[in-house]
Amino acid sequence: MLGGLERPITGLALDAVATAVVGELSEVETGSPVFRWANAGHPPPVLLNADGTTELLERRAEMLLGIEDGVPRIDHVVRLPPGSTLALYTDGLVERRGAHFNVGLTWLRETLTGRQGRSAEEICDVLVEGSGGRHEDDIAIVVVRVPA
């Protein structure tokens, strides 16, 4: 999928680059969903575990879209345990002018820690409200809850 996004940008010689996470949720025989994703320079998804701990699904950094066509992309896979919550978001949620990017990622993890069991809508509300409304970029959030 990322290759399909890459071709128009590089093929049309657009003067643009973009980041993206493309993912797929699938059910496996055990009934526990699996999240498979590829990341083209986008902030990493975050997993809120059933015990309230959080984990950034950081993997080796990959090239942004629009730089070079045909770059091999790597699929990553993680099983989503019962009671966990997966959150994907745009960089507008965690980027702050004048602050290192890791400050925003730390804020994200701290904000989600201990909020296991909340609905997807509640998680979105907590993140948007907790960011203080000081957004210099658009925000989009996708939250997936795995039943306990």
| Residue 133 banded pLDDT, cuts 50, 70, 90 | low
pLDDT digits (tens, 9 = 90+) for 65-112: 888 878 888 999 999 999 999 999 999 899 877 888 899 999 999 999
Mean pLDDT of 38-47: 95
Higher pLDDT, 9 or 116: 116
Nearest residue to 54 via CA among 10, 115, 9, 101: 115
Mean pLDDT of 28-36: 83
pTM: 0.88
Q: Which amino acid is at 34?
A: V
Tokens describing residue 145:
């809850």
- pLDDT value at residue 109: 97
Which domains are assigned to the chain?
A: 23-56+72-145 (3.60.40.10)
